[in-house]
Structure 1
Amino acid sequence: MTMDLRDRLDEAIRSGQVDGLHAVVAVRGGRTVLEHYGAGEDALWGKSLGVVQFGPGTLHDLRSVTKSVTALLYGIALADGRVPGPAEPLLRHFPQYPDLAADPERARLTVEHALTMSLGLEWREEVPYDGPANAEVAMELSPDRYRFVLERPIQEPPGVRWTYCGGATALLGRLIADGTGRPLQQYAREALFAPLGIGAFEWTGGADGVASPASGLRLAPRDLARIGELVLAEGAWEGREIVPAGWIRTMLEPRLQTEWGAQYGYQWYIETLAGHRLLGGMGNGGQRLTVLPGLDLVVAVTAGNYDDPEQWRTPLAVLEQVILPAFELTTG
């Protein structure tokens, strides 16, 4: 199996199907069945790092896969009674904005609307992340990122439509930090990474040093795969519950449909690929954490195709051309 996967990946590289690929780690049943590292141009939150030779210990931007990790942290904090439940009014937990809370339309916002990216507020993040036309960039440049999000013009009632919104995740990160009394990266180390045996990580933040819950996390691909294994095991690791199983199930319940047809839970995507249920975190440039419960399989992909309109092609090719055909031969 491992050799077959390696051969398939080599062919995909030779044929140009996985341009920009930096690394792949696939784990099945707790055993690494494929591990590949290449070289290529990379960036740290948009700042060029030049050509990097990747290896097992090289940290990589996860970009918006960070959102999916933030959702795990929210579930841990919720179980400890540190953050509000999904049904609670959102602005109640941002008392510094009484003027916004006084707006009856905004008062309808709940934590769940942030978890599902359905705030109903104006937010444009489909443009490149190289200037303030992108709402996440504008948020980071604003003097108060949370007010920036919460005072966006209202476009429709909350909960109606999924609209990609890093600002929603920023609000969740603030709730975690406020509730736990720790910066997000410190809480992540204590509550998630250390229990998983993850020692090396970085969490990039804005000019004020606040870690970005939406896109700032940097992990080695092996450790990203480990997070996928945790989700596959419904929050358990080596006999210990790290994330409550009930939260994992709630987090992965399809709630809204994305513009391209995937379902969305709490900061996680739910799709079907070649007949297999797929749970995923996705990030700019081709970053991808894929959990395939039916195959007991996790696949972590990192790539350097940042802001490329077809950045999705490389991680999809890894799954469709390399991973799934190999396992379908053995299970079918």
Structure 2
Amino acid sequence: MGQPNHAGDDDLVRELSDRVGEIVGEGRAPGLHGAVVLRHGDPVLEWYGSGEDFALNVPLGRVDFGPGTLHDIRSVTKSVVAVLYGVALAHGLVPEPDEPILRHFPEYADLAADPWRAHLTVEHALTMTLGLEWDESVPYTGPENSEIAMELAPDRYRFVLERPIVEEPGTRWNYSGGAVALVGGIIARGTGRPLEEFARTELFEPLGAGSFEWSAGADGVAFAASGLRLTPRGLARIGQAVLDAEVVPAAWVERMLRPRVPSWGDASYGYLWHVGADGRATAAGNGGQRLFLLPGLDAVVAVTAGRYDEADQDAAALAILEDAVLPTLAP
């Protein structure tokens, strides 16, 4: 069983630690690997456990997690890419979201000749409303899944951009790692640097987010949709930077977290973030990886877990948030 590391206000730390201990002891946080809670930028909970883990699909065996242990954050990577886009935009290195995507992939002149595709914008990718045929509802084990098919294709960007158009762009959210691959590609092209290198020097190092890894495909290109590995501390630090508009401009944070299209459940989608009606923003990844931004409480909750592909994969994160953090921090 993991041990909390105490910091900040003693009473608050003790109450959070006790609540998390009860949740774990009662089995209400299946597969929980780590949890870090920041309030006003200070750590008020840090908890680590043990469990079977993977680096994407590579088994790592049983891991004893700690402050320096890297963990897949899976599709939370998407939300980090949105942050990176804002940083690059502030430096004038990437286009405004309303610009056509194909203008930044000039090698696909044949696709740009299609008037429908010519009107696809960066914002359509940032909001996953490209209107292109894409299906990630099946397991990530073969080419029946569009993201896997993209990674197996000789040219990932062409693969995405030449998908059949099935609806008006901008009208409906459709979960798409391909959309994020395009965003990552634009960042790499605009900055003249690999995505992971830009992230290291312009985000992770300035924030003191610690070590990281970014898995890549056979072509050496980082998986923009799912390949990032961080510590829970590092993930929470990035979340706090978004709340504080540190490194990433405040104007971009507002645009990024503005609800734009319905997504899962009662949430809406901004730019690669899920946004609730209460202002809560969530970055979510397979297995129970979650980053919750709670602006009303000036709090951040980062959770890592190992329930990959399981129906209850969000149980641990929701238990930490709803049964420990909110009852303790809410006035």
Q: Tell me the equivalent position of 1:247.
A: 252
Q: Which of 97, 113, 116 matches 2:108?
A: 97
Q: Is the 8 A contact 1:67 1:169 kept in 2?
A: yes
1:84 paired with 2:123, answer: no
Matches within 5 A, 1:123-142: 123-142=134-153
Q: Is the 8 A contact 1:64 1:214 kept in 2?
A: yes
1:173 paired with 2:175, answer: no
Return the alpha-carbon distance in structure 2 between the equivalents of residues 86 and 204 of structure 1.
26
Give the stretch that moved more between structures: 192-201 or 114-123: 192-201
Q: Is the 8 A contact 2:213 2:230 kept in 1?
A: yes
Alpha-carbon distance, 1:312 to partner: 1.7
Return the alpha-carbon distance in structure 2 between the equivalents of residues 96 and 283 of structure 1.
32
Q: Is the 8 A contact 1:225 1:289 kept in 2?
A: yes
The one-letter code matched in structure 2 to 1:322 is A
Runs (5+) with no aligned partner, structure 2: 1-11
Matches within 5 A, 1:146-185: 146-185=157-196
Matches within 5 A, 1:10-159: 10-159=21-170
Return the alpha-carbon distance in structure 2 between the equivalents of residues 250 and 218 of structure 1.
26
Scaled by the length of structure 2, the TM-score of the pair is: 0.95
Per-residue CA distance 1:131-157 (angstroms, 9 max, x = gap): 211111111111111011111111101
Q: Tell me the equivalent position of 1:262.
A: 267
Q: Which of 194, 218, 222 matches 1:211?
A: 222
Alpha-carbon distance, 1:46 to partner: 1.5
Q: Tell me the equivalent position of 1:239.
A: none
Give the stretch that moved more between structures: 282-291 or 126-135: 126-135
Runs (5+) with no aligned partner, structure 1: 237-241
* SS of equivalent residue, structure 1 residue 105: helix
* SS of equivalent residue, structure 1 residue 316: helix
Q: Is the 8 A contact 1:26 1:33 kept in 2?
A: yes
Give the stretch that moved more between structures: 171-180 or 304-313: 304-313
Q: Is the 8 A contact 1:129 1:307 kept in 2?
A: no
* SS of equivalent residue, structure 2 residue 280: strand
The one-letter code matched in structure 1 to 2:314 is W
The one-letter code matched in structure 2 to 1:148 is F
Return the alpha-carbon distance in structure 2 between the equivalents of residues 211 and 20 of structure 1.
27
Alpha-carbon distance, 1:318 to partner: 1.1
Alpha-carbon distance, 1:268 to partner: 0.8
Per-residue CA distance 1:244-291 (angstroms, 9 max, x = gap): 11011111111000142211100111014xxx5311111010000101
Q: Tell me the equivalent position of 1:277.
A: 279
Q: Tell me the equivalent position of 1:200.
A: 211
Alpha-carbon distance, 1:178 to partner: 0.5
The one-letter code matched in structure 1 to 2:157 is Y
Q: Which of 315, 324, 327 matches 1:325?
A: 327
Return the alpha-carbon distance in structure 1 between the equivalents of residues 55 and 96 of structure 2.
33
Return the alpha-carbon distance in structure 2 between the equivalents of residues 297 and 218 of structure 1.
22
Matches within 5 A, 1:293-312: 293-312=295-314
Q: Is the 8 A contact 1:116 1:264 kept in 2?
A: yes
Return the alpha-carbon distance in structure 2 between the equivalents of residues 151 and 106 of structure 1.
8
Return the alpha-carbon distance in structure 1 between the equivalents of residues 46 and 216 of structure 2.
29
Return the alpha-carbon distance in structure 2 between the equivalents of residues 45 and 248 of structure 1.
29
Return the alpha-carbon distance in structure 2 between the equivalents of residues 277 and 100 of structure 1.
38
Q: Is the 8 A contact 2:209 2:233 kept in 1?
A: no
Scaled by the length of structure 1, the TM-score of the pair is: 0.94
* SS of equivalent residue, structure 1 residue 277: coil
Q: Tell me the equivalent position of 1:292.
A: 294
Return the alpha-carbon distance in structure 1 between the equivalents of residues 326 and 234 of structure 2.
22
Per-residue CA distance 1:103-161 (angstroms, 9 max, x = gap): 11111100100010000011111222122111111111111110111111111010000
Question: Percent identity among equivalent residues?
Answer: 61
Which consecutive segments of 4 or more residues in structure 1 shift more than 2 A?
A: none
* SS of equivalent residue, structure 1 residue 83: coil
Return the alpha-carbon distance in structure 1 between the equivalents of residues 125 and 213 of structure 2.
24
Q: Is the 8 A contact 2:210 2:234 kept in 1?
A: no
RMSD, aligned α-carbons:
1.0
Q: Tell me the equivalent position of 1:187.
A: 198
